[in-house]
Amino acid sequence: MSSQEFRHIVRIAGKDIPGAKKTIIGISQVKGMGYSFAKSILDILKINPNSNVGFLTESQVEEIEKAMRNPSSVNIPPWFLNRRKDMDSGNNLHLITSDIDFNVRNDVEREKGMNSWRGFRHTYGLKVRGQRTRTTGRKGGAVGVRKGGKVLPAGAPVEGAAAPAAGATTAPAAATTEKGAAAPATTKGAAAPAKDTKSTAKPTAAEKKAK
């Protein structure tokens, strides 16, 4: 082909493909068309996969689009299609471009309407196909772990705790008297209770005269 027939942009199935790309790469850029599927179509249509997309003629582009939308017309096996046994028609289909998103959305809504387990998982935004959810699939803000104090060895003093008063010791165990009653524990340096001196003090001479 001459350079005058070269097109810089070729539109295939609603997708603008640069003409400088190889044909097999350009076709695989259409959503729903993989590398192997594109290669099988080009082999059946007898088109060189290594030629540039810009050198394709209008008739070749139409043949490629027809094969992409109806692969059974060019004897593509059913196991190669991406939607086998469609729920509505029961036929083997191959979806491309926006048809994929439309059918996937309808499938999800149908599952929700049936109140199936998959529908509940879709409703709550959880994984549907049995993946693990312990470490993946988390949504929302980051959830951190609250920082605690340092782990101290047993018997170590805790920072910020009130220190015992100087000279004071811990109260000993309550001692028992001969009668079995527990004696009150006293600490070292603590003042003993004052005795009642009012009953034992002798009256003075001034008090005797006042009487």
Instruction: Report pLDDT for 166.
Output: 55
Both 59 and 107 in one domain: the answer is no
Domain that holds residue 15: 3-80
Same domain for 58 and 105 = no
Residue 179 maps to a domain: no
Together in a domain, 48 and 106: no
CATH number of the domain residue 15 falls in = 1.10.8.50
Number of domains in the chain: 2
Residue 118 lies in a domain: yes
17 & 61 share domain: yes
Which has the minimum average pLDDT: 5-9, 14-18, 136-140, 146-150?
146-150
pLDDT of residue 123: 93
Nearest partner of 37 among 46, 45, 27, judged by Cα: 27
> What is the greatest pairwise CA distance in the chain?
149
Alpha-carbon distance values, 21 to 9, 26, 54 (Å): 10, 6, 8
Model pLDDT for residues 129-186, shown as the tens digit of each residue: 999 998 888 877 676 777 776 767 777 776 665 555 555 555 555 444 445 555 555 5
Residue 165: inside a domain: no
pTM attached to this predicted model: 0.58
Average pLDDT over the chain, rounded to whole? 80
Residue 189: the pLDDT is 53
Residue 69 forms part of a structural domain: yes
Report if residue 156 sits inside a domain.
no
Mean pLDDT across the stretch 109-114? 94
Q: Note whether 67 and 102 are same-domain residues.
A: no
Q: Which residue carries 């929700």 as its tokens? A: 112
CA distance linking residue 183 with residue 176, whole number of Å = 6
Q: Is residue 186 part of a domain?
A: no
- Residue 162 forms part of a structural domain: no
Same domain, residue pair 75 and 50 = yes
Assigned domain for 107 exists = yes
